[in-house]
């Protein structure tokens, strides 16, 4: 064995700390590399989990004028993600289920093309996990006897035998009017990013459909505690929790006061023949709710003042029957107003008719307006003859032309006398709401989908 010299001992004494330091650095590097590998492995493992958290829902809106299907997809944060190139898949057919009152099976099969389209956009492996809901609205609610029940049962049988989606019989129903109003409120406030905020930071909603009109807005807890019951003992206020925040939602649906149904109510109030709301020179027939009305204009032509009286009469705007401190029309409690109603979004036929007569740009998703705009447009429309209507209103649907005076007068009367809005109050007419880089329809099916995917 070689004997160490003092020089050797000196070198060793100097090198040992360096070797130890290098060894420690190498050990730390190895551990760091392992840690990075573990993090990378974890990240790679998490990605399929996020991809797997996609949740689809299929919503059939069985309305009074037609049937529509909506397909939505949500991520794990309940944010909408695209279905194909759009943020939702949408398709529709006409007429609606109520048009097949005498043939329930034919009503069910009218949904076949929509079902095929909906299933084609949902990944096949997710079909068994994708719930399907059919929500029928005022069109079926207005049918007599057990007709609606027989149509709904035919739809249940059809879906059970023909669909690969997750089917539950109880999800094929006639939507209660308050459900429709609630879902509409959820839709608009979700798209605006209001959910999770205080109730005072949400917006109120009025939705004018074909057969019914809904009002919904959030009220304070104090107001909710004092809320009365409806005449049939139901609650005006629904408690819902969304994104960790509890809302007391005032919601009421007025059956037979949607735009198409209101025409029939006005005919019942003042007669369909010699009617002051029909454009001068028109004679024809109007069908709604299984009834046919022989419609003709007044001999003196349409009149804004006389039509206003007819609309007020049809709305039953009679404060003497109000048993609460504040009412809308027909003795219905108005919710008391408050911060949740200060910003009002008014949807569906309000937007459509305003676009047809041209006081808003219907190519835009929303428009600011006032109830007085409907009054001014009505005064103009009531002076137009049916013969000149198409030239005056080239954007109007052919079937709406004879009723433009009536529709505008009714909408103004509903806002001013029915809901008690100041004619000069600014409201937002809404068709779509911008969500991220997309425009999404401001309709109840999205709110229904949010409710559905949250409960699965």
pLDDT tens for each residue of 437-455: 899 999 999 999 998 887 7
Decide the pairing of beta strands 344-348 and 427-430: parallel
The tokens of 156 are what? 């249940």
| 380 occurs within a structural domain | yes
- Pick the closest to residue 83 from 449, 373, 452 (CA basis): 449
Please give the Cα distance from 217 to 203 (Å, whole number).
7
Query: What is the end-to-end Cα distance of the chain in Å, rounded?
Result: 79
Find residue 367's DSSP bridge partners.
429
Contacts of 220 by beta carbon, 8 Å cutoff, 6+ apart: 199, 248, 338, 339, 340
The tokens of 405 are what? 């005076």
Residues 408 and 324 in one domain: yes
| 273 occurs within a structural domain | yes
The domain tally of the chain equals 2
Please give the Cα distance from 335 to 344 (Å, whole number).
14
Residues 142 and 277 in one domain: no
Instruction: Please give the pLDDT value at position 173.
Output: 95
Peptide bond into 393 cis (omega under 30): no
Residues 164 and 211 in one domain: no
Cβ burial, residue 365 (10 Å; 0-12/13-18/19+): middle
Residues 116 and 215 in one domain: no
| Low-confidence stretches of the chain (pLDDT beneath 50) | 1-12, 15, 19, 25-51
Instruction: Please give the pLDDT value at position 244.
Output: 83
The domain spanning residue 351 has which CATH number?
Answer: 3.30.420.150
Please give the Cα distance from 260 to 252 (Å, whole number).
19
Please give the Cα distance from 148 to 141 (Å, whole number).
7
DSSP 63: -
| 249 occurs within a structural domain | yes
Residues 171 and 185 in one domain: no
Residues 433 and 415 in one domain: yes
Q: Is 117 a catalytic residue?
A: no
Instruction: Please give the pLDDT value at position 453.
Output: 84
Residues 241 and 253 in one domain: yes
Instruction: Please give the pLDDT value at position 320.
Output: 56
The number of helix segments (H) and strand segments (E) in the chain equals 14, 16
The domain spanning residue 69 has which CATH number?
Answer: 3.30.420.40
Measured CA to CA in angstroms, residue 419 lies from 127, 172, 212, 425 at distances of 43, 32, 14, 12
The tokens of 164 are what? 């690969």
Question: Of the listed 119, 180, 356, 441, which one is catalytic?
Answer: 180
Residues 161-178 as b/e (b if ≥16 CB within 10 A, e otherwise) read ebbebbbeeebbbbbebb
Residues 128 and 201 in one domain: no
Under a CB-based contact definition with an 8 Å cutoff, are residues 135 and 61 in contact?
A: yes
Residues 96 and 155 in one domain: yes
Full residue range of the structural domain in which residue 181 is found: 177-439
Residues 254 and 309 in one domain: yes
Q: Helix 259-270 vs helix 404-413: angle between axes, to the nearest 10 degrees?
A: 100
């Amino acid at each position: 064995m070689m004997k160490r010299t003092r020089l050797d001992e000196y070198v060793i004494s100097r090198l040992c700390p360096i070797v130890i330091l290098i060894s420690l650095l190498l050990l730390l590097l190895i551990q760091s590399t392992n840690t990075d590998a573990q993090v990378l492995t974890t990240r790679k493992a998490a990605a399929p989990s996020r991809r797997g958290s996609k949740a689809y829902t299929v919503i059939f809106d069985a309305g009074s004028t037609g049937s529509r299907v909506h397909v939505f997809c949500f991520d794990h944060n309940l944010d909408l993600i695209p279905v194909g190139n759009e943020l939702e898949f949408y398709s529709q057919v006409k007429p609606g289920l109520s048009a097949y009152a005498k043939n329930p099976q034919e009503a069910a099969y009218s949904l076949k093309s929509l079902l095929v389209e909906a299933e084609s956009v949902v990944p096949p492996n997710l079909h068994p996990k994708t719930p399907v809901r059919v929500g029928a609205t005022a069109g079926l609610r207005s049918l007599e006897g057990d007709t609606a029940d027989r149509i709904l049962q035919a739809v249940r049988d059809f879906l059970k035998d023909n669909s690969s989606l997750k089917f539950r019989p109880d999800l094929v129903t006639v939507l209660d009017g308050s459900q429709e109003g609630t879902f509409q409120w959820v839709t608009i406030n979700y798209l605006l990013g209001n959910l999770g905020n205080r109730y005072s930071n949400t917006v109120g909603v009025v939705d004018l459909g074909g057969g019914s009109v809904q009002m919904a807005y959030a009220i304070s807890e104090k107001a909710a505690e004092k809320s009365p019951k409806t005449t049939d003992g139901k609650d005006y206020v629904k408690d819902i929790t969304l994104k960790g925040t509890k809302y007391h939602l005032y919601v009421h649906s007025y059956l037979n006061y949607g735009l198409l149904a209101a025409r029939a109510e006005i005919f019942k109030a003042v007669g369909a023949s010699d009617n002051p709301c029909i454009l001068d020179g028109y004679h024809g027939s109007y069908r709604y709710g299984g009834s046919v009305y022989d419609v003709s204009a007044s001999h003196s032509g349409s009149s804004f003042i006389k039509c206003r009286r007819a609309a007020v009469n049809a709305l039953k705007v009679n404060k003497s029957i109000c048993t609460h401190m504040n009412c809308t029309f027909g003795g219905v409690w108005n919710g008391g107003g408050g911060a949740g109603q200060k910003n009002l979004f008014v949807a569906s036929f309000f937007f459509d008719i305003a676009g047809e007569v041209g006081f808003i740009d219907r190519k835009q998703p929303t428009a600011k307006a006032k109830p007085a705009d409907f009054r001014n447009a009505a005064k103009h429309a009531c002076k137009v003859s049916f013969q000149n209507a198409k030239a005056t209103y080239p954007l109007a649907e052919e079937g709406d032309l004879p009723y433009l005076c009536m529709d505008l007068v009714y909408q103004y009367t509903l806002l001013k006398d029915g809901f008690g809005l100041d004619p000069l109050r600014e409201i937002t007419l809404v068709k779509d709401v911008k969500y991220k880089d997309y425009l999404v329809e401001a309709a109840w099916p999205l709110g229904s989908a949010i409710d559905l995917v949250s409960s699965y």
